[in-house]
Amino acid sequence: MNEDLLKGKAPDDVQLLKSITVGADYLTDFLDKRYLDDYILHGGSKIKFITGRPGSGKTHISRLILNDAKEKGYITVTFSAKDVWLNDFREIYLEILRQCDLKNILEGCAEKIIRDMGYDPGEIREGSCFLDLLSEKHEADAISKGTIRSMLREMYTKNPLMDNSFAGCCSLLTGAILGHPVLEKSNQEIIFAFMHGDKTVSLSQMRALGLSPARITKYNARHLLRSLSELIHLSGKKGLIVSIDDMEVLQNKNGEGMIRYTKLRREDTYESIRQLIDDIDSMRYIMFIFCFDRELMDNESCGLKSYQALWMRIQNEVVSTRFNCFADMIDLDRFADQIYTPDILVMMSEKLCTEASKQGYSGQLLNIGEAEKLIKKAEYGGLGLPYIVNRAVLTNEGGETDV
């Protein structure tokens, strides 16, 4: 049996995740339709906060959204606050860039230029470049080369949404893919390393390539992220979706693991998110999803409420007594109260049992009476309803008649 399921966690296997999904698709279908298929697709930007008790389905829903986004042509990035420092936006940006595959994105931009010049990228033989194709057609003249340089300028250095340093690097690397202007392999590696935050690359090395470099800092990282999302769109992708999970680690409740947030680092993280909220409208084709246990929102000493500058920007999102799909703060506990009826829980148990039987494991199918008792248990417990149902069905914890 899948180990994650037995532990009440969302499985990594996307097909398995979809097969056990009941009720959550009400929310994910809405987000797909309103954001992935509309708002973000047409140049919008958004931040969503997903909260709830442990086991309420935060990771499950974020993985469904990321999978849907990937299938629709978005670049998706996901990481845990347990693995990446959030107090310095430089670290967030570099992790996003690392997962985006910059070389592949630049190849998409090169193909766009080729098509805009009236050629088919599919004609280029493996191991050769666009300039080689032009040479074969006897069209690699000064006019064609001038057109390539002009299109690179329009795409990058003249683009008002791109950082100058970022645009200059992308222009040279895309030119190298096209075959003009020529850039040696070693110099390409230097530029890639610099863009990924390698501090061993000196600024003088970059200047020697005709660039005006600026190192990545927490102050310019958000601007660079805006440049990256613009680059992704230019490459032919729909946009960028970023999910950051396990943000409750900011409370440093147990002090476990490599990342431990002091009060100063925690406040720097809150300030970083506050600045992102303020800057998000200046970005395009991008969506952030922050996931955290409800305690981070309720804890007044070290949670979101402890940093007023951030709390003032999101507090208006948690006043309604009804679940609102449009709200920036998605409360999965409130969602469960409205969506997870006894009938839905029975369907959930059926799907869990079906998947368990496929793997030679026996699950306990719920009846309506047991489902009602599990709902009652969730009302007064510290765990989310999806987790309680999962444990009741797969391990017989909480599914007994005396719940």
Q: What is the mean pLDDT of residues 360-364?
A: 85
Is the per-residue pLDDT at 254 higher than 60?
no
Per-residue pLDDT of 268-322, as tens digits, reads: 999 999 999 999 999 999 999 999 999 998 899 999 999 999 999 887 655 566 7
Is the per-residue pLDDT at 256 higher than 60?
no
Q: Which pair of structure tokens corresponds to residue 185?
A: 């392999």
- Of 65, 130, 371, 79, residue with least CA distance to 247: 79
Confidence (pLDDT) at 2:
75
77 half-sphere exposure, CB direction, 13 A CA radius: 25
Per-residue pLDDT of 50-90, as tens digits, reads: 999 999 999 999 999 999 999 999 999 999 999 999 999 99
Threshold 0.85, pTM exceeds: yes
- Of 126, 144, 125, 143, residue with least CA distance to 134: 144
Q: Is 163 helix (H, G, I), strand (E, B) or coil?
A: coil
Q: Considering the chain, what is the average pLDDT of its residues?
A: 92
Burial 147-171 (b: 16+ CB within 10 A, else e): ebeebbeebbeebebbbebbbbbbb
Confidence (pLDDT) at 358:
87
Instruction: Give the pLDDT band of residue 398 (cuts 50, 70, 90).
Output: low
Q: What is the mean pLDDT of residues 240-261?
A: 82
Confidence (pLDDT) at 323:
82
Q: Which pair of structure tokens corresponds to residue 325?
A: 């799909």
Separation of alpha carbons 63 and 78, rounded Å:
9
Does the CA dihedral 248-251-256-262 come out positive or negative? positive
Share of the chain above pLDDT 90, in %: 82
Q: What is the mean pLDDT of residues 89-115?
A: 97
Total number of residues shown for the chain: 403
